[in-house]
Amino acid sequence: MPLAKAKILVEATGAQFEVMFNPEEYTINKDNNFASQAVPGLSGPILQFVHGNMRTLEMELFFDTYEKNTDVREQTQLITNLLNINGDLHAPPVVQISWASLQFRGVLARAGQKFLLFLSDGRPARARITCSFSEFIDPTREAKEVNRQTANFTKEHVVVDGETLSGIAANLYQDSAMWRPIAIVNEIDNPRALTTGQSLIIPSLPFIDPESGEILQ
């Protein structure tokens, strides 16, 4: 059975080509952004998810035209041309990279060429290209494929007669000592100066078991 070749499809034109030699390895990177919030009374800041960063695909492609006695750049430009701005899109083209289980949709963000062997007239005949692709996420497509609901990170509390910040914290956080985050978020300088009917923003914090100190979600 012949070895499957890695293929690159240019979505805008429908053009597709195979790489000359399959990569020896590839790397997929993905990370998330978190915001930290310092809360008085806790041993460390609380992390809250903000957003995910794009995935990236990195690979090195090898090209060799020495036996054919031709300029290897005729082959490498298939890759480097993916950096060019498409006149209709006003941006580099979106491509689909497929190789067995690897399926990646993105744009070529960087391509570094290294020429290794030359013909007698000086034309390069062997090259390596270090490629970095950035995942392209189409908001319309993602909205159809992924059901996401906006997270509600806060609550609203209306002060009733006789309530105190510590009492509200005891009710909502199960710990009266956690009144400070409420005061900070609502810019309350005097924790005793609450007004009946006043609307307070209650930040979303983990509950802490007062006996074990364990953080409970």
- Domain that includes residue 122, residue range: 7-145
**Torsion angle, CA of 185/186/192/198, rounded to 10 degrees?**
-140
Residue ending a domain, choose from 145, 173, 205: 145
Same domain, 174 and 141: no
Same domain, 206 and 121: no
Same domain, 96 and 46: yes
| CA 49 – CA 116 distance, rounded (Å) | 45
Number of folded domains that form the chain: 2
Angstrom CA distances, 171 to 38, 42, 151, 175, stand at 21, 19, 22, 8
pLDDT tens for each residue of 122-169: 999 999 999 999 999 876 665 555 555 444 446 788 888 888 888 888
Residue ending a domain, choose from 145, 168, 191: 145
Q: Would residue 2 count as lying in a domain?
A: no
Q: What predicted TM-score, i.e. pTM, was given to this entire model?
A: 0.61
The single residue listed with the structure tokens 């609380």 is 46
pLDDT in tens, the chain (217 residues): 567 899 999 998 999 999 999 999 999 999 888 877 777 767 777 777 777 788 999 999 999 999 999 999 999 999 999 999 888 878 899 999 999 889 999 999 999 999 999 999 999 999 999 999 999 987 666 555 555 544 444 678 888 888 888 888 888 888 888 888 888 888 888 877 888 888 888 887 654 444 444 434 4
The pair of three-digit structure tokens given for residue 151, joined into one six-digit string:
């997270």
The pair of three-digit structure tokens given for residue 90, joined into one six-digit string:
């006003």
Q: Quick check: helix, strand or coil at residue 148?
A: coil
Would you tell me how many other CB atoms lie within 10 Å of the CB of residue 39?
Answer: 17
The pair of three-digit structure tokens given for residue 169, joined into one six-digit string:
């914290």
What share of residues in the chain are helix, strand, coil (percent, to 5)?
A: 15, 40, 45
Same domain, 182 and 98: no
CATH of the domain at 163: 3.10.350.10
| CA 159 – CA 202 distance, rounded (Å) | 12
